[in-house]
Amino acid sequence: MTQPWVRARFGLPMIYVDAKVVMTLYRGVKEFYPLLAPDQNIVASFSYNKDFFVESVTFYPLERAKEIQVALEKKRLGRK
């Protein structure tokens, strides 16, 4: 699966995390998409490699994804 394929099926992500290099390790783009079917408060997190192919998919409760979103916003605001 590629990033365009995922976005075509799920729309724009709820959370987007840029790629970064830590030491010599590449940490690809990560996107979080809510899966809000009836009675399902789950978020799917897709991690991509350098070529924007999905490397892994992780599922979180929606509440945990909101905590991640708040933490990322605080981190972004702290840099400015």
pLDDT over 90 percentage in the chain: 52
* Model pTM score: 0.80
The number of distinct structural domains making up the chain is 1
Q: What pLDDT sits at residue 39? A: 73
Tens-digit pLDDT profile for residues 29-50:
999 999 877 878 899 999 999 9
DSSP track, the chain: -BHHHHHHHH-S-SEEE--EEETTEEE--EEEEEE-STT--EEEEEEE-TTSBEEEEEEEEHHHHHHHHHHHHHHHHHH-
Q: Could you tell me the residue range of the domain that residue 37 belongs to?
A: 3-79
Q: Pick the residue with more confidence: 1 or 21?
A: 1
Instruction: Work out the average pLDDT over 12-28.
Output: 88
